[in-house]
Structure 1
Amino acid sequence: MIEIEVKGYADDEVFERVRENFKLIRREYHEDTYFQHPCRDFAKTDEALRIRIRRFNGHFEAIMTYKGPKIDPNSKTRKEIEVPLSDPDKHTEILESLGFKEVLIVEKTREKYYVDKGIVIALDEVEGLGKFIEIEALAESEEVVEETVRVLRKILASLGVKKFERRSYLELMLEKEVGHGEAG
């Protein structure tokens, strides 16, 4: 499955426009733990491996996700493989036993909204980074990526999004850490 995703910077006004115009699916809290492969530099290959703990309505889910390299220059579109986990601590222990290293934990609150068939908007407040809006659609093949990205960007622009961001939250957090490390 290909995840077609466009992300932009948001403010209170953008959040309000989404809340006024779309149906809330649910509020969630995410704790995303990212791992580095022992023999392959994911920063260079543009890949990611994470375990996400998602809490909502008194429940929790754990999901391991592999994200392949981005395949579109105007979005965060990439191959994505997800597997539900019954015991995330044991999976983390397995990864660490195989030489994977924990890189960073990204925490955020997310509100998910239904836009249209197969299209969802997420309002994210990311600890240490601020407010973002993501719009996502899933596709079976790469043939529809360019047109879908155009549609998704148009929706975000209509909501007042002026600045788009192709980097992941992990990339943004790592850049922020490096910046603070050099200054201090």
Structure 2
Amino acid sequence: MIEVEVKGYADDSIFEKVREEFELIRKEYHEDTYYQHPCRDFAETDEALRIRVRRFDGHFEAFLTYKGPKLDSVSKTREEIEVPINDPDEHARILEALGFTEVLTVEKVREKYYVEKGITLTLDEVEGLGKFVEAEALTDDREKVPALVEKLKSLLESLGVRRFERRSYLELLLGRGQDEAS
């Protein structure tokens, strides 16, 4: 599956506009622990491997996720492979036994909103970074990606987003690619 995602910097007015105009799906708490491959540098290959622990409404879910390199120069669109796991601590032990090393844990509060079938908005408050808004769609057809990117970007612009960000929260927290900021 291809995750088409456009992210922008947000402030209180953008958060309020989203809360007023769209239907809240749920509020979630995320702990995303990223791992480095023992034989290749994910920072150079633009890949990511993480264990996400998500808590909402008294529930707990965990996922092992691989994200491939970004597919275009505008958005954060990439192939994503995600599988549910029941015991994130034991999965972490397996990764570490195989030589993977923990890089960093990104913590955030996420509010997820329904826009239309196949499109969601998220309001993220990321510890150490601040507020962001993301528009996301999923597709299995690479030819649909450019049109979806434009649609998502227009949606964010209509909410008042003026500054977009392609780097992941992990990249931002690690301080990489400062010259890419737009």
TM-score range, shorter chain: over 0.9
**Residue 118 of structure 1 aligns to which amino acid in structure 2?**
G
1:57 aligns with 2:57: yes
**Residue 29 of structure 1 aligns to which amino acid in structure 2?**
Y
CA distance in 1, matches of 2:162, 2:66: 30
Give secondary structure in 2 for the equivalent of 1:96: helix
Matches within 5 A, 1:11-50: 11-50=11-50
CA distance in 2, matches of 1:69, 1:135: 19
Give secondary structure in 2 for the equivalent of 1:135: strand
Flag structure 2 segments of 5+ consecutive residues without an equivalent.
none
Offset, 1:135: 0.5
- What do the CA deviations read for 1:34-64 (whole angstroms, capped 9, x no partner)? 0000001000000000000000001110001
CA distance in 2, matches of 1:59, 1:148: 31
Offset, 1:100: 0.1
Number of residue pairs matched by the alignment:
178
**Residue 117 of structure 1 aligns to which amino acid in structure 2?**
K
Q: TM-score, normalised by structure 1?
A: 0.95
Matches within 5 A, 1:92-103: 92-103=92-103
Shift >3 Å, 4+ stretches? none
**Residue 47 of structure 1 aligns to which amino acid in structure 2?**
E
CA distance in 2, matches of 1:48, 1:81: 11
Tell me the equivalent position of 1:163. Answer: 163
**Residue 93 of structure 2 aligns to which amino acid in structure 1?**
E
Tell me the equivalent position of 1:147. Answer: 147
Tell me the equivalent position of 2:75. Answer: 75
Offset, 1:86: 0.7
Identity of aligned residues (%): 70
Tell me the equivalent position of 1:129. Answer: 129
Give secondary structure in 2 for the equivalent of 1:19: helix
Offset, 1:72: 1.0
CA distance in 1, matches of 2:42, 2:21: 38
CA distance in 1, matches of 2:136, 2:153: 10
CA distance in 2, matches of 1:56, 1:81: 22
**Residue 98 of structure 2 aligns to which amino acid in structure 1?**
L
C-alpha RMSD of matched pairs (Å): 1.2
Offset, 1:150: 0.4
Give secondary structure in 1 for the equivalent of 2:18: helix
1:138 aligns with 2:135: no
Flag structure 1 segments of 5+ consecutive residues without an equivalent.
180-184
